[in-house]
Chains A and B, each alone.
Chain A
Amino acid sequence: MAVAREPSILVVDDDPEMRALLLDVLRNEGYEVAEAKDGTEAVVALRARRFDVILMDKNMPGPSGLDLLPGFRRVCPGSQIIMMTAFGDVASYMEAAEKGAVEYLFKPFRMEEMKAAIAKALGRDVEAGT
């Protein structure tokens, strides 16, 4: 709403290939993207600046995405958090929803799905996908 800048996204995932893929795709979409390989790096990144969207894996060594979620919500209430996890993990999904995640992606998900989720989180229409 304020300045006309590209929305920023923080990708938090312990898998370098996954991070690389997401970074490629999201940058291609024109987003400003930063990455973190675990909770600690994510906290450092969040202290440095704010992100519109945090795309975070649930399963990570150290504090899990679910553990980090409430803290992130508190530290940067303006960030929309999208969780990723292995599919079928319904319990995590519910917990994440309660803890304030706006979207949930079950791996493996289609890039289109992810783009749609981000667009939704940013309050944009799904037209971003096409």
Chain B
Amino acid sequence: MIPGGGANRLGGWTVGLLRNVTTRLVILLMLALMVITGVYDYVRLIRERERLVDQTQEDQRIFAETLALAVSRNVRWGRTTAELKELLDDILARPGLVAVTIFDPDGQGVAQTVAPGSPIPTLDDAVRETLKSKEGASILAREGSGQLLRYVQPFRWPGGRTGALEVRQTLAEMEHEFRRAVREKVLSRLVVLALFVLSVIALTRWSIVRPIRALIAGARAVGRGDLTQRIEVRRRDEIGQLAEEFNRMAENLQAAHDELLQHGEERLRLEQEVQQAQKLAVVGMLAAEVAHEIGTPLNVISGRAEVLERVVLPDHAERRHLDVILKQAERIKGIIRALLDYTRPRRPNLRPQNIVPILGRVADLLLDRTRRRGAHIRLDLPLSLPKVLADADHLQQLFLNLLLNALDASPQGATVRVTTGSDPLLPAEERAGIVRGKLERPSLVIHILDAGKGMTAEELDRVFEPFFSTKGREHGTGLGLPIVEEIVRAHRAEIEMLSIPGRGTEAIVRLPLAGEDATTRESILQERAPGAGGHGN
């Protein structure tokens, strides 16, 4: 009855609140309590009313008896009807009294007084019964909207007969009182209920809704990407735990996010470094090429000038021309040297290196390109490999170039396999091969195998030549493998390229293992066969 309307008036969110099981249960329990106490109160009020009716009946009886005595005496004294009526009229002032009638033994109304608006009493069965039985009778009758209390009292009529006196009293006042009491009770219950519901709502709002709203706001903020968001709920209950968990989650998210960011930055930095190194290596390669190409003719010029220098002596008139030629030749040499100094990769800083993380980094760097090509790089390497003696940056560049070639050769969806092991992966009978560098100590062997279209023996012979490329103009510089060769030579390592047309190309890098001293190198060197026919051509 009450809660629905009440809740609606208290605002929309309380409806939502009522869906909360605990709140609903508490309110239902409260309602049940209200109904029980209400019924109890109602029963008590009914009993009270019955008691009041009894009391009134008793009062009426005593009053009727007293009045009957007075009337009896007056009748005996022979008072006229008018005098009796006068007496009755005085009595009518008594509260609640609506009519008093005096009947003679024959049932004829002798005198009567009636309050205005009340029905006029007539002889009925109750009066007749009293006249006959000479016994007083109390009757509770319904009259219109209210209840009517009647009392018929016999009295002695002169001549040994019996008259009757009827007093009619309305219970309207009492009914009114009763209704008012019921109303008050209901009202007070309602007030208590309303206060209770309100306090339950306020309590839940304070203890549940508020922290939950804080949680929602926090979750939204985190959802928007504000990972610094924390919730201030200092409680030990489930909500406090939830908030704590939320804060922990946000903290973990933030840490993960930071780490990711850092990793991204690291990767970017690495990428830039590698790019820069690659660029420098390319320029260095070019410069070396230029130096090589220019070196010989320049040497011829300066050499010839030097020959002349011995003939054209310093005091000769035209000697200055020779000096200029020699000076300018020196100048060109200076320019090339400066260019070489600038671009030449620093001497490798050889340290024992674990190769797996280096390969992992390079594969990571190539992630974008791998994805773009729809290819995969599969690192088939045991977790622990013996360390090699190498410069980490140079190795990074070496593997980057080899993997770039492998990826560029790979068709859509193909896998580039990186693995270790002494034997080549491509079968010996069909493959062609070329080796660069010289290995002088036990080595760790890394294979990089692609599933590309492979190369013919003729193409393979030229792969280490600067500016040779099978990729077409838009790809690469044609300096990737020359750079690899240079790095391999600087490391006293070996690179072997094997290929089968239509099947793929395999790059095999043999890197010297760390932990051997230089003297063994000499002994290995001595055993080497001359000629080294595998090189060049």
Contact = CB atoms under 8 A, between A and B. Distances in A.
B288 to A, nearest CB: 7
B340 A108 contact: no
Given A28-B307, A63-B532, A107-B295, A91 B489 contact: yes
A95 B489 contact: yes
B303 A67 contact: no
Contacts of A18: 296, 299-300
Given A25-B307, A88-B344, A91-B486, A62 B537 contact: yes
Nearest to A73: B530
Interface in A68-113: 70-75, 85-92, 95, 98-99, 106-112
Contact of A88 (B340, B531, B537): B340
Interface string B297-323: 111111110110000000000000000
Given A15-B296, A67-B535, A91-B490, A112 B306 contact: yes
A125 interface: no
A110 B291 contact: no
B336 A87 contact: yes
A17 interface: yes
B224 interface: no
Interface in B256-270: none
**What bracket does the count of chain B residues touching chain A fall in?**
35 or more
A122 interface: no
A62 B536 contact: yes
Nearest to A99: B525
A6 interface: no
B179 interface: no
Interface residues of A, number: 38
A22 B307 CA distance: 10
A88 B530 contact: no
Which one of B292, B301, B307 has the highest number of Cβ atoms from chain A below 10 Å of its Cβ? B292
B310 to A, nearest CB: 8
Interface string A13-41: 10101100110110010000000000000
Nearest to B532: A67
Nearest to A63: B536
Which one of A72, A92, A108 has the highest number of Cβ atoms from chain B below 10 Å of its Cβ? A108
Given A24-B307, A70-B528, A110-B302, A87 B340 contact: yes
Nearest to B438: A95
B125 to A, nearest CB: 143
B94 interface: no
Contacts of B404: none
Nearest to A69: B530
B236 interface: no
Contacts of B486: 91
A67 B306 contact: no
B297 A111 contact: no
Which one of A24, A70, A95 has the highest number of Cβ atoms from chain B below 10 Å of its Cβ? A70
A107 B301 CA distance: 12
Interface string B462-496: 00000000000000000000000010011000000
A88 B288 contact: yes
B203 to A, nearest CB: 83
Nearest to B536: A63
Given A86-B295, A95-B438, A108 B535 contact: no
Contacts of B528: 70
B85 interface: no
A107 B299 contact: yes
Contact of A90 (B302, B333, B347): B347
B527 to A, nearest CB: 11
B531 A67 contact: yes
B296 A111 contact: no
Contacts of B306: 25, 110-112
A21 B300 contact: yes
A44 to B, nearest CB: 15
Given A74-B530, A108-B329, A86 B536 contact: no
Given A18-B299, A70-B530, A110-B302, A88 B489 contact: no
A70 B54 CA distance: 142
A111 B301 CA distance: 11
Contacts of A106: 295
Contact of A21 (B295, B304, B537): B304
A111 B307 contact: yes
Interface in B422-470: 438
A88 B337 contact: yes
B525 A98 contact: yes
B291 A88 contact: yes
B298 A107 contact: yes
A87 B337 contact: yes
Nearest to B440: A98
Given A88-B337, A88-B340, A71 B530 contact: yes
A108 B302 contact: yes
Given A86-B292, A91-B490, A71 B531 contact: yes
A88 B489 CA distance: 14
Interface of A: 13, 15, 17-18, 21-22, 24-25, 28, 59, 62-64, 67, 70-75, 85-92, 95, 98-99, 106-112
20 contacts: A15-B297, A18-B300, A25-B303, A62-B537, A64-B535, A64-B536, A67-B532, A67-B535, A73-B530, A85-B292, A86-B291, A87-B295, A88-B291, A90-B344, A91-B489, A106-B295, A108-B302, A111-B306, A111-B307, A112-B306
Given A22-B303, A28-B307, 19 more contacts: A63-B531, A63-B537, A67-B532, A67-B535, A70-B528, A70-B530, A70-B532, A73-B530, A86-B288, A87-B295, A87-B333, A88-B288, A95-B489, A107-B295, A107-B296, A108-B329, A109-B299, A111-B303, A111-B306
